[in-house]
A and B are shown apart, each in its own frame.
Chain A
Amino acid sequence: MDPINFVILASILFAIGAAAVLLRRNAIIAFMGVELMLNAANLALVAFSRMHGEIDGQIMAFFVLTVAAAEVVVGLGIIIAVFRARQTISLDEPAELKG
């Protein structure tokens, strides 16, 4: 299978992730969209790594996974704090900061 297909797939995944951020009101789902975008990048990295016939890209994917994990921790922490304060995780609700 041509690795370029994986790149295309990665792009589609990236777009889906972005769409999730744009469309979903639920903070967790939106956040998952971001994670999907990161993983799309991972897929692209791995695919390119394969195309170039070296492992740099794959190593990088590990870095990204680690960082993404840290991001999840922080992100969920914030979302939980918001939930505790407001009893909701709708992204549209906290909109006092504007203008």
Chain B
Amino acid sequence: MSFTTPEIAWAPLTPLLIVLGASAVAILVESFVRSPETRRRTQLVLSLVALVGAAGAAVVQWATLDGAGTVVLDGMLTVDRQSLAWQVLILVFGTLGTLLFASRTRAGEEAFTPLGASAPGSSDETLARRKGLQVTEVFPLALVAVGGMMLFTSVTDLIFLFVALEVFSLPLYVLVALARRRRFLSHEGALKYFLLGAFSSAILLFGAAFLYGATGSTSYAGVAAGISSSTGTDALILAGAVMVVVGLLFKIGAVPFHSWTPDAYQGAPTPVTAFMGAATKAAATAALLRVMYAALYGLNWELSWLFWVVAIASMLLGTVVALVQTELKRMLAYSSIAHAGFILVAFAGLPDTALSALPFYLASYGLATMGAFAVITQVRERSDEGTVLGEATRLGQWAGLGKRSPWLAGAMALFLLSFAGIPLTAGFVGKFVAFSAAISSGAWPLVLVAVIASAAAAFFYVRLIVLMFLTDVPEGQEDAIEIDYSPLARTVVAVTAVLVLLLGIVPGPVLSAFENAGVLLLGAGG
């Protein structure tokens, strides 16, 4: 048995390597830099440099891409414009998320507990805070998650898919548990997220095993070949395909695999919610796209009803339950479930156009999500004694925000309008291209359901706008809310707001970029 050194094309992996390498460095930093303040600054700078550098590298890759793309690591990874587009997107979300992680500036006002392992209110924690300990492991964790997600968008092998999934999920589970305030909720969210996440990973893995068993290959190309060559339809293939898809639908947050979403969104520290909401959905969509187009395209007919049913269920459930929410983060979580439905609308029928429509949709959705949660980090409650507490996430607390802080409220309104898909925001163009994709494959009834859901969904987005702009601050509650002013978070709000507007008014360049990305190297169909 001879051993051949695998040929690895390193260059296309540069962005990925930068991020993963930086995460390794960050762990070292975590171990060896003693001063909390220095450590925090170092971590932040390192993360930003890595993420921005990786994004730059990805753009360079894009520009210098040889033909349609490169297959790396013996078919495990494929770097083409599609994956680069997603990687850039995830890097953008990562960068913005990192800024949010670092945003709390007032001493002791960070979102994360300094000592994740300690019990809330315990003497350990009090001590840690008195010592000025600051949590800095969130930065390496985030870097690992970003790396995992980037990997996730590019993998073309089922086992690697599982590995990438775990690589980005595990840090997220930890991040969710790290909220400084409302630790119980944070723990609870993390526990649920973790348990269900692991559960769904197992399902995905088992499905992968079935596909391997039925086709004798774990690479997408091999699976696709196996599917097309199998005479009749193999139950093993079908069961395996469904399980893989279900594992990914879990990450997208589609009904009935959505249950973790509201709890994790609400429990997690808001910066984590922002990052997770935007990036996970994008990564999972990218992975689902590639699995469907590169591996399971032959099962299009068999699986399309699944997308129809799940899409409709997600849109309706997400919308109607969001209607009755009074907790802001939870409302946005249900809104994200509805958006998962919209994503699947574009999927149904697997039209070519979905390959360029979905990156745009996720870009618009992700930016608005980042922005909205960034705004939430800035609105804090205040106790009767005047101490600033956690974020004010009860809807009623936002009454009159337009008067307290017109710009912040205006930005929030913009994000909400984008969610609702009102023209001149990115969300509208996103909906337009997604619906176009669906209609091009004949799924117009699905689109009809989608627009009805959108119209109903507008109600709860608008309700918040009503509260912010058309309702006065309740009598005697003038001091109950503190508007935080964190330059980093404000930067995130400003950048996302501008991008949401730009993508809504002049989406041309981005659209055409994604149009270029709409071709898969090694696509099984289309």
Contact = CB atoms under 8 A, between A and B. Distances in A.
Most buried by A among B174, B202, B213, B217: B202
A57 B267 CA distance: 38
A48 B187 contact: no
Nearest to B205: A41
Contact of A44 (B166, B195, B210): B210
A61 to B, nearest CB: 9
DSSP class of B's interface residues: helix, strand, loop or mixed? Answer: helix
Contacts of A9: none
Chain A interface residue count: which class?
35 or more
B194 A74 contact: yes
B170 A71 contact: yes
Contacts of B189: 97
Interface of A: 7, 10, 14, 17-18, 21, 27, 30-31, 34, 37-38, 40-41, 44-45, 47-48, 51-52, 54, 56-57, 60, 63-64, 67, 70-71, 74-75, 77-82, 84-86, 91, 94-99
Given A67-B162, A74-B174, A30 B195 contact: yes
Contacts of A17: 202
Given A56-B212, A71-B198, A94 B120 contact: no
A18 B117 CA distance: 28
B117 A34 contact: no
Contacts of A95: 188
A67 B197 CA distance: 13
B218 A85 contact: no
Contact of B188 (A10, A64, A74, A94): A94
A78 B268 CA distance: 13
Given A41-B206, A63-B163, A97-B185, 10 more contacts: A21-B195, A37-B199, A52-B216, A57-B209, A71-B166, A74-B173, A75-B195, A78-B174, A81-B119, A94-B191
Contacts of A70: 166, 170
Contacts of B119: 81, 84-85
17 contacts: A10-B206, A14-B206, A21-B199, A31-B195, A34-B199, A37-B202, A41-B208, A56-B218, A60-B212, A64-B162, A67-B163, A67-B166, A85-B120, A85-B187, A86-B184, A95-B188, A97-B267
A34 B202 contact: yes
B122 interface: yes
Contact of B122 (A48, A57, A67, A84): A84
Contact of A57 (B187, B194, B206, B212): B212
A77 B117 contact: yes
B116 interface: yes
B206 A78 contact: no
A54 B198 CA distance: 28
A38 B247 CA distance: 13
Nearest to B217: A56
Given A64-B162, A80-B117, A85-B184, A97 B195 contact: no
